[in-house]
Amino acid sequence: MQRAASPPPVYYSAPSPPEPPVQRGRLWRLLGWASIAMSVILVGGSLTAYGFWRRLDGQIHRENVKDKLGANRPAKLNDSINILLMGSDSRQGANAQYGTEQGERSDTTILLHISPGGAGAIGISFPRDSMVQMPSCKKSNGTTVPAQFGMINAAFSNAGPSCTWRTIESLTKIHIDHFVEVDFAGFKQVVDALGGVEICVPKPINDPKAELHLKAGKQVVHGAEALGYVRTRYVLGDGSDLDRIKRQQAFMASVVKKATDKGMLTDPGRTYSFLSATTKSIKADDGLTLSVMEKLASGLKGMSAGKVRFVTVPTMAYPKDKNRVQFNQALAEPLFQAIREDNTPPEPAPTPVPAQQKVQPVPPAQVRIGVFNGTAEHGLAQRTADQLAERGFKVVKVGTVKSAAKTRILYGAGAERQAARAAIAVPGHPPEAWAKAKPGYVYLIIGKDGAKLSGGGPAVPKVAGEIRADRDVCAQA
């Protein structure tokens, strides 16, 4: 069942609280297939023991895209990682055997979201037939492609990965950290390095165009067969791009399941072969450095297939063309919001002192609170206030104060129980009485150590047709 969009926060009128004190001191439409590459990271934690990081790092082709992303990007709200995964149908080099089409296109676009601390991961597919508004983009030769309305995969054709990056950020308001791009030849190499991937076919396949001949049922496919399987369109399903996306997601789920298999992880040779094939096959932004990959891998130790799922952005028919779709914003926005606000899991709250134990918190609706930013991070107080309002708090004022070293919860006379409720929402900051505060009011002063709300952001909603990486391979056939 889809979750309805969150209502806008309500702010209540109240006397302005005094300023608180400042504390001193055409393509394969493949599997977003770079997510195969990113399953590298799901097993990457084991690589530390082998000491091959630097050798693998040197195999990645990197591109500087920072100057093409523009200044008005979504803010980075938390410690999660968002990686844009793209499949390229370039016909150059080893890919020439697949035809002689000019240029490059990307009919596979997936946003891989990794929750803080490796708590889970979700791959969000953006159908190539989606009609969207694309921003202007800068090409490598310095020229600019004007903003336009069209199919989402046109962004890659217009100005490469950076344009797709800008487009997804503008549509979702999600801050993207890195991109990874892979082509035909690379896909085959990665699948072969895994020793093949298990699929389940509902009926025999005989597709000369895709050079694909498969028996019905569960089986393992290798490079060329795997490529044909994810490329074929009309011999399986209803021939639509959305149906093919489901098959690609099921394939990706099998890749993740294979890559995180204990037998794989305990075999250094197999692990290194897989990682080496992956790094040789991808292009990434130059910000995806060795240290970033090591940090990411370390944070994902213990990631299991059961914590990984794949979904498609909810869409609806595009009225002007029955062969196109558009985002269903009522269903898509809750998904985007949950990704934006997937906060770091809160640390356990400190053990309360006896005096605090005697305070019985009141419901959030009874808390009148002002939120003040004491840091250089623009918009932090407003974002925090919005999250508190969504939880039922009565936000009476949002403002700024002079630089604050630490986050504090202050309260006026008669607001001890209200402050106790605020401390539950923003753990780690014991409430302090303040003589200059207005009676009955609470003040949250956000310092340089931040203010992480308990329970993280809104839960990522269930999306119809989602596929978990630990499912039975024939369950979605």
Interatomic CA distance for residues 427 and 435, integer angstroms: 23
Q: Is the pTM higher than 0.75?
A: no
Residues 6 or more apart in contact with residue 74 via CB below 8 angstroms: 169, 172, 173, 174, 175, 340
Q: Which residues contact 234 (CB under 8 A, 6 or more apart)?
A: 207
Task: Give the N- to C-terminal CA distance of the chain in Å, as an integer.
Answer: 22
Candidates 157, 158, 30, 138; CA nearest to 86 is 30
DSSP state of 83: E
Look at residues 474, 476, 411, 19 and name the one whose alpha carbon lies nearest to residue 219. 474
Task: Report how far residue 106's alpha carbon sits from residue 27's, in angstroms, rounded to the nearest whole number.
Answer: 7
Give per-residue pLDDT as tens, 58-80.
Answer: 788 888 888 899 888 998 887 78
Q: What is the three-class DSSP state of 198?
A: strand
Query: Diameter of the chain by CA atoms?
Result: 81
**Gap between the Cα atoms of 113 and 91, Å rounded:** 29
Q: How far apart are CA 87 and CA 64, in angstroms?
A: 18
User: Do 197 and 191 touch, CB atoms closer than 8 A?
Assistant: yes
H or E stretch including 186? helix 184-193
User: CA-to-CA distance for 224 and 220, rounded, in angstroms?
Assistant: 12
From 242, 224, 232, 153, select the one nearest 187 (Cα to Cα): 224
In the numeric block, which tokens belong to residue 276? 């080496």
> What is the spatial distance between Cα 265 and Cα 280, in angstroms, rounded to a whole number?
20
Q: C-alpha distances in angstroms, 319 versus 189, 252, 281, 316, 325?
A: 41, 31, 39, 9, 8
Local confidence pLDDT in tens for the 477 residues of the chain: 444 444 444 444 444 444 554 443 333 333 334 444 444 444 444 444 445 667 777 788 888 888 899 888 998 887 788 999 888 654 344 434 444 444 455 667 899 998 877 778 888 999 988 999 999 999 988 899 999 999 998 999 899 999 999 999 999 999 999 998 887 777 888 888 888 889 998 889 888 877 788 999 999 999 888 888 887 777 777 767 788 788 888 888 888 888 777 666 667 777 777 778 778 878 889 888 877 877 776 666 666 777 888 899 999 999 999 989 999 999 999 899 889 888 644 443 444 444 444 678 898 889 999 999 999 888 889 888 888 887 889 999 999 998 888 999 999 999 999 999 999 889 889 999 999 899 999 999 999 888 888 765 566 777 778 888 888 888 754
Q: Residue 295 forms beta bridges with which residues?
A: none
DSSP 49: G
Whether 196 contacts 220, CB under 8 Å: yes
How many residues does this entry show for the chain? 477
